[in-house]
Each structure stands twice: as C-alpha cells, then as structure tokens.
Amino acid sequence: MTKLTNLGSRIRKLRDHRGLTQAALAEKMAISPSYLNQIENDARPLNRRILTKLELALNIDFTDWAEDEDRRANQLRESLNDPLFRGTDIPIHELREVVSTSPRLADRFLQLFRAYQRLQVDHQTLAESIAGEERIKALHGTQFPYEEVRDFFYRRNNHIESLDRAAEQLFEAQAFSIDDLEPGLTEYLRQQHDIQVKLSSFEERRSLQKHYDAASRTLYLTKPSSPARRAFHIAHQIALLVYPDLIQQELEDAELVSSQAQAICRVGLANYFAGALLMPYSQFLNNAKRLRYDIGCLSGLYGTSFEQVCHRLSTMQRPGDKGVPFYFVRVDMAGNISKRQSATSFHFARLGGVCPLWNVHEAFSSPGTILRQLARMPDGKTYLCLARTVHEHGTSYLQPQRKFAIGLGCEISHAHKLIYSTGLNLEDPEAVEPIGVSCRVCERKDCPQRAFPPLSRRLSIDENSRSAYPYSFEGADSGEE
C-alpha cells in the first residue's frame, strides 16, 4: 500500500463531517482526547493499531485513501505532460505528497486544467467551423458534462455504498428471486406503488426503450428487449420513484458544476441502483469469488448480459468486503470510449484515440471470443486485460446493429483470482506487452503503432537517417519507469 502522510487534517475533516467531537471519537477508539488531538495535528505517528481503531470507529478503509491518492497523483502527472507545462518534471512521489497534503488544491488544479482542455477543443472546433469543415452548431455538441460525471464515479472508486445497501435491502425484504426477477419487480411496482408495467412496440413508443407516464402511472417497455434489459429498466424506475432522497444526497455530495451534469449523474445513479438490484452485492460477490470471476457463468446465473456483469464487477468495492478492483470500458469500432469506470489506477484517454496496442481493438476481429492480454502501462503497473465484443440487434432489418468491445481488467497482483489467468505465466516479463493511454501522452520511442508524437517532447528530425519507428523525439527512453 502507498504510504499515507499528513493524515491529521483529513481525519479531522472526516470527524467533523460525521458530526463527532474529539472526545466522542476518542471514546470510540478507546484513546485519550489529547492523543487524538495530537494525531489530528500530525504531532504523533500512526501505528497499525491506531489505524485499525480509526478504520473501525469511522467505518473507512485507509487502503482506499492510498489508492485514491495514487489515482489523483497520476491524473496530475498526465496533466503536467501537456505542452503548457513544458519542462515541468515533478517526481511522482512529490505529486502524491501534494495530493495528500492539499487534496482540495489538487482537485481544483485538475478542474482548472480540464476547463483549459475544453477551451482548446472549443477553439479547434471553431477554427474548423470557420474553415468550413464543421457546422458551427458542433460547438454546442461537446459533451463535457459526461466527463464531469465520469470523474465523480472515478473519485468514488465506482462504488456508491448508499445505493448498493438500499438495493440489497429491497431485494431481501421483497424476497425477490434472481431466476424470476422481471415478474417480481413488475408485481412490486403494482402492489406497492400502483404502477402498471406494459409492453409496447418499438414504433408505438417512438423508438424509446422505456417511458414512464406519471399521469397514468404506467411504465412502458418495448417488446423486443430481453428480460434482463426489461428488469434493468424497471429497477431504474424504482430507483427514481422510491429512492429520490438517496440520489439527491449523492448529487449534493458530488458538487457537480452544471445542471446538465447533475441530470446525467441522476440517470447514472439510478442505473447504478438498477445493476445493484439485479445483482445484489454480497450474494453476487460470493458467487463471483466461487466461480473465479467467470463472466459467462455469472451471466447465466443472474440472467444478465455480458456487459451488465462486467460493469457490476467493476463496482465491488464495499469497505471491509471488497472484490477484485477492475476497470470497465466500452469502445466502439472507431476506438471511441462510450463508457468507462474504474476501481483501479488504470488511465483512460480523455481526448483522442486510445492505444492501438490494447486488446479491445483486436476484439472486433474475433467476435464473441474473450481475448486475454498482459499489458504494462507507462507508470509501470501491469494488468490482466480481457476484451470481448457485444452487439445489440436492431428491431428492423434496416436498423443498424450496434457493436462494441467490452474491456475488463485488473492489476496483475489480483490476476490469479480470475479463471482467465489459467495457462498464463504471470511471472514472465516477456509475456507482457507495453501499452499506453494515448499517443499524445505516451513517451515510448519504440512503438511501431504510434499515430502521433507525444505533446511533451520535441521532435528529433535527421534527414540522413530513418528510424524503424515513426516520430523520433528527444528526451525519453523506451523502457518503463
């Protein structure tokens, strides 16, 4: 675990947030108030015994804090690779110290840098519009509120405990069955909330998969959809109708800037609840461990899709009862990321294409097959990466089929827990492929697939020589850090 420093102020803020006085927290920890006062002022070192008492008293996991510091330190590092900060080379341990001592300052810096990125994209879009390459309305189509919401889930380790608990309690209180969940949810809405669920054709609902009519208290679902999809839509509506206060509290804690981001996040939180209701936390995690995270078996057991299982696996981070921390991503055939969530420090590209060496691209050439890859990121961390295609059939012959590649992965230290590690030599460095976030921020020289030079390095042009690799540049070697 990364060493945690300067915990005093963070402990004090958390104590205040929980409404506890120093005396009350000291009593729960069975230590003196003066000792706690010294801890909060960083005047006393924290040993393992005191850390354990703090974790129990405040219901936290310091491992989460360490992983959060790692993520934000790497986000700072990625931001500082921008040409705006040319010549800035701050070691990762210093960035971790900044995150530890001034977490709010680090967050504000990242917000400011993202605002700068948005201005850069707007400027480029405007220039293209003036040149006749894009219509001016494209300026208003940039969906940065989605990035704001994704950052919120990333900060929360892709785990929303309040909604997870609520879904689990509802599942148990209503004695729902995973083998017959759609009828059970339908009957729950009818009996408890006087809401009817009706199936309608795709054309009748104007291409809507789900529509709730509050006036008639009717939830319309399209007929062609699968039972798993219909159950998900019903669970989504239950979240909005039965747990609006929980969702509102999470929205307030998220501190989202725009009203659009708040609306998107409300939908995302309702989706989170729906997944948690279809696959209740403790039951699902126990089955995942028993089946060694076999996605196909879990999909069959819960009657859910491959994508739904992968997304749910990426949320198993309950304090004191964690599963393997996964990243989850959905990529289209052009390499655009339409969904990304992570309980790991795996880095995703925010702008531009993702690394062409990542196996999510190769998945399209082997539809329906789970591909495995041992991949090392520029920060030196190695991951077991899984990828497989999924598709959604249209309702009409003339309606295009939606195709995606789903990526799921974990750090190699957890790989032995997965059935997908069978037959792989996890200790063989030759079996590991170097990948990156995107070409714009990757500094590996020896990549034959590089599409662009890194933004942070000067090009090295020699008219008398030609490298086997594209875009020669200065100031970096080809190895990992």
CATH number of the domain to which 27 belongs = 1.10.260.40
The region of weakest confidence among 56-70, 312-326, 329-343, 381-395 is: 56-70
* Same-domain pairing of 166 and 270: yes
- C-alpha triplet 10, 14, 17: angle, nearest 5°: 140
Domain range holding 341?
309-434
Count of all residues that appear for the chain in the document = 481
pLDDT over 90 at 248, yes or no: yes
* Same-domain pairing of 314 and 244: no
- Measured between alpha carbons, how far apart are the two ends of the chain, in Å? 19
Any residues with CB less than 8 A from the CB of 358 and at least 6 apart, and which?
373, 375, 385, 387, 407, 435
In a domain? residue 154: no
The region of weakest confidence among 75-84, 135-144, 215-224, 366-375 is: 135-144
* Nearest partner of 415 among 328, 297, 292, 309, judged by Cα: 292
Average pLDDT of the residues of the chain: 83
| Long-range contacts of the stretch 422-425 (C-beta < 8 A, 24+) | 424/372, 424/374, 424/384
Q: Which of 417, 434, 451 finishes a domain?
A: 434
Find the largest Cα–Cα distance for the chain: 80
Q: Quickly state the pLDDT bin for 246 (edges 50, 70, 90).
A: very high
pLDDT digits 0-9 by tens, 127-166: 544 544 334 344 444 447 888 888 888 888 899 999 999 9
* Same-domain pairing of 20 and 70: yes
CB-count burial class (<10 Å; 0-12, 13-18, 19+) for 379: middle
The shares of helix, strand and coil residues in the chain, as percent rounded to the nearest 5, are: 50, 15, 40
In a domain? residue 412: yes
Q: How many Å apart are CA 83 and CA 96, to the nearest integer?
A: 22
Which of 66-70, 174-178, 257-261 tops mean pLDDT?
174-178
The mean per-residue pLDDT over the stretch 196-209 comes to 72
Sheet with 210-213: strands ordered across: 196-200, 218-222, 210-213
Q: How many Å apart are CA 126 and CA 128, to the nearest integer?
A: 5
Q: How many Å apart are CA 143 and CA 120, to the nearest integer?
A: 14
* Same-domain pairing of 430 and 322: yes
In a domain? residue 1: no
